[in-house]
Amino acid sequence: MAALLAALAMFGPFAIDTMFPAFPAMAADLAVSELAIQQTLSVYLLAYAATALFHGPWSDAWGRRRVILAGTAVFTLASIGCALAPTLEWLLVFRAVQGISAGVGLIVGRAIIRDLYAGPEAQRLMSLVAMIFGVAPALAPVIGGWVQTLADWHAVFWFLAAFAASLWLACFLALPETLPPQRRSRLSLRPLWRVYRTMVLDTGFRRLALSASFNFAALFLFIASAPTFVLRHLGLGPLDFGWFFGIMIAGMMLGALVSGRLAGRVSLERCVGMAYVLMLLAGIASVAYAISDLPFVIPWAVLPISLLAFGIAIAFPAITLMLLDRYPDHLGGASSMQAFLSLVCNAVVAGLIAPWLMADRRWLALGALTLTVIGYLFWQLRPRTEGTPMPAEPATLPLPNEGQQ
């Protein structure tokens, strides 16, 4: 189950950074600037964010398995469309369709974990999924570089289509339905709006979600800037993205392993607090190295980013479980809202902040530190709870029609 859920969660990073090494070739072949090609990432993330609000509720109403099978099928067809796109405009259209379908794996996968497990067991499985999932951003650009070198940029999307088709078959054969009919909720826009309104107005949910969104946005700023960071700042080639992503993801996988070991032994609040100390230290180290006169080379240029990823991987499972446990009767909806806020933040980073900062490594490092500090402030402003390990059964936060929030 962990391997299957991790593979589903790999949709996002594979669709994001497999194409990074092919950016220059895509720009030349489509006769557009690399900044225009960068918008294929923004369009993907915006479409992902817009539909993230519905993946979870769809799975709450129709079952987890059905929504995942539909999403992987649509992603397969969209990837084929990207491979055949004759112009940038058509490529943007099919990238949007990829984004519409890509969220089912990560969002519904979180709900599946909470369907099956509670307490430390849920944290351990979520950490294990995060650790396996962490391989994707390291593998994707390496595979993309190989494919683009051996064939052309179209082959990158044929690879994504084959990956999605294989995953659809694996889910069809091996993924069970974890939400029985008696536990499903009726899908209706008005009640759904009320649930989301409650979540947005819920100070605890909102600040936790924004904390997670901004601390990951600090890492995503480097990911979105990877073509410039690797090819220009580090002076490496299209086949060398593994040096950047490999070191970074090693930190993420180690952090996920540590998070799993801490489950049930250390409170969720303390896990996140320790993680933020690491993330802030990583940001300070990154700025200090970027402004120094030392040669900007591997591995030293990426080690602070790896430490940032290490801290994020410790914090993310804990924050996610704290969010989901506020709405045990709407796990899919809570997962969707968390994903929506994070994706909007990432879309702004990819479309506006990264193009503005990535030309100068000093501004890039300072921007990442600023995003981490904002995330830390939201964490500190959350409503405080007792520092005890996560209970086996979460408390229910009433919805508007059930009582006063």
**Side-chain-facing half-sphere of 353: CA atoms under 13 Å:** 24
pLDDT at 385: 52
- The verdict on whether omega for the bond into residue 191 sits within 30 degrees of 0, i.e. cis, is no
Sign of the Cα torsion 135, 229, 35, 159 reads negative
Look up the CATH architecture of domain 2-175+189-384: Up-down Bundle (1.20)
Helices and strands (H, E) in the chain, number of each type: 19, 0
Nearest Cα neighbor of 96 from 65, 74, 66 is: 74
* Under 8 Å between Cβ of 38 and 350: yes
User: pLDDT tens digits, the chain, 405 residues: what are they?
Assistant: 778 888 888 877 788 878 888 888 898 899 888 778 888 888 898 888 888 888 888 888 888 899 999 999 999 999 999 999 999 999 999 999 999 998 888 788 878 887 888 777 877 777 777 766 666 766 787 788 888 888 889 999 999 999 999 999 999 999 889 888 888 777 777 877 888 899 989 999 999 999 999 999 999 899 888 888 988 899 888 778 878 888 888 898 888 889 888 888 888 899 999 999 999 999 999 999 999 989 999 889 999 999 999 999 899 888 988 988 888 878 778 877 888 888 889 888 887 898 889 889 999 999 999 999 999 999 999 876 533 333 333 333 333 333 333
pLDDT at 391: 33
Helix residue spans in 202-293 (DSSP H): 203-224, 226-228, 241-262, 268-291
Distance CA 196, CA 330 (A): 10
pLDDT at 133: 66
Looking at residue 397, the DSSP 8-state letter turns out to be P
Sorted by where each begins, the domain ranges of the chain are 2-175+189-384
Helix residue spans in 175-229 (DSSP H): 189-201, 203-224, 226-228
pLDDT at 138: 66
**Side-chain-facing half-sphere of 297: CA atoms under 13 Å:** 3
398: Cβ contacts below 8 Å, ≥ 6 apart: 404, 405
pLDDT at 396: 32
Amino acid at 2: A
Is pTM, for the whole model, over 0.75?
no
Nearest Cα neighbor of 110 from 219, 212, 40, 15 is: 212
Distance CA 277, CA 373 (A): 11
User: Which H or E run includes 127?
Assistant: helix 119-133
Q: What angle do CA 274, 277, 279 make, to 5 degrees?
A: 110
How far, in whole angstroms, is CA 334 from its chain's centroid?
15
